[in-house]
């Protein structure tokens, strides 16, 4: 059983998948930072200084809360619309990045498939059959 697990674990596909998951996690962190730290502040500024992460609806709890952190600390039940908007934007950026990656890979595959291949020499049995054919043709043409 240990040997089978070792064969499974060292198989190329499993290692490739592990690398993909690790890089995907790191990419997700970068995208989250891009959305939260780069994109949303200017958008919030254009909308009158609104911090998207603090856009929320209080479903259960007393009083108005200035920030989502205040509402959470008070134990209020909230619907976090701004956090959801940030996550939607993050998803769209990741989806677009994956789309562009797949598009580049498909273009490279098409170029590789369209690349002319050097002619290969026919197999030895085909050459032998051609010699036999030519020899028979010459004999039939002799008077």
Question: What is the mean predicted confidence (pLDDT) over 123-137?
Answer: 91
| pLDDT band with cut points at 50, 70 and 90 for residue 143 | low
Residue 139's pLDDT is 86
Contact 51, 106 (CB under 8 A): no
Residue 78's pLDDT is 93
Domains with residue ranges and CATH for the chain: 2-141 (1.10.1200.120)
User: pLDDT, tens digit, for every residue of 26-36?
Assistant: 888 888 888 88
Residue 4's pLDDT is 83
N-to-C CA span, the chain:
76
33 phi and psi, to 5 degrees? -65, -40
User: pLDDT, tens digit, for every residue of 81-119?
Assistant: 988 988 888 888 888 888 888 898 889 888 887 777 767
Q: How many CB atoms lie within 10 A of CB 74?
A: 13
Contact 58, 80 (CB under 8 A): no
Q: What is the pTM of this model?
A: 0.58
Contact 69, 86 (CB under 8 A): no
């Amino acid at each position: 059983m240990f040997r089978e697990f070792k064969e499974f674990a060292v198989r190329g596909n499993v290692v490739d998948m592990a690398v993909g998951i690790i890089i995907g996690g790191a990419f997700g962190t970068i995208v989250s930072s891009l959305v939260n730290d780069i994109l949303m502040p200017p958008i919030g500024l254009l909308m009158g200084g609104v911090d998207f992460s603090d856009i929320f609806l209080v479903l259960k709890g007393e009083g108005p809360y200035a920030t989502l952190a205040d509402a959470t600390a008070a134990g209020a039940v909230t619907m976090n619309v701004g956090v959801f908007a940030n996550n939607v934007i993050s998803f769209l950026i990741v989806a677009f990045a994956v789309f562009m990656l797949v598009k580049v890979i498909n273009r490279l595959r098409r170029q590789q498939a369209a690349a002319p291949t050097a002619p290969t020499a026919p197999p030895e049995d085909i050459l032998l059959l051609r010699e036999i054919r030519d020899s028979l043709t010459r004999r039939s043409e002799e008077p």
